[in-house]
Amino acid sequence: MKKLLKRQEGFTLVEIIIVLVIIAALFAIAIPIYASYVAQARSAEAQEAINTIWSALKIHNAETNTWASNIQQLKRLEMDQVTRRRWNFSWTTSGRGVSSITATSTGLMPGGAGKQVTLNIETGEWRGYGFDTK
């Protein structure tokens, strides 16, 4: 007599576990890369604003022969209200003028409060949120 072989269909537990391990490994690689990308994109808003502030500071200095001590003194500064609500700006001066400009995020910024982006004027180097995560 012929034996009837019963065909089993579907996946074994081992195959399912292997697929889950592969998916977990992909997520472990992708999530930090994505988080770094998001931080860089969010800090781009601060970079643009810092560059705008630096230009306004230079204009203020050329007109008054002094460096502004706060953002309200920069009469020629044009910046989005959204950017002003998301970031607070400050700068440090030295004997040679402005040495760095820093943007600190507020609670309205999607990445959270307390994130800082700093431009070192003397070296042109950017530091902080979106840069130190590489």
Ordered by start, the domain boundaries in the chain are 16-128
Is pLDDT of 50 > 80? yes
What mean pLDDT, rounded, does the chain reach? 90
Distance CA 8, CA 6 (A): 6
Asked if 119 contacts 101 with a C-beta cutoff of 8 angstroms, the reply is: yes
For residue 8, pLDDT over 80 is answered with: no
What pLDDT, on a 0 to 100 scale, did the predictor assign at position 134? 47
Q: Both tokens of residue 46? A: 């601060």
How far apart CA 47 and CA 70 sit, in angstroms, is 18
By CB atoms closer than 10 A (0-12, 13-18, 19+), residue 129 is: buried
Of 74, 14, 13, the C-alpha closest to 49 is: 74
Which candidate, 59, 129, 67, 132, places its Cα nearest to that of 99?
67
At 70-126, the pLDDT tens digits run 999 998 888 889 999 999 999 998 878 999 999 999 999 988 999 999 999 999 999
What are 62-74's pLDDT values in tens digits?
A: 999 999 999 999 9
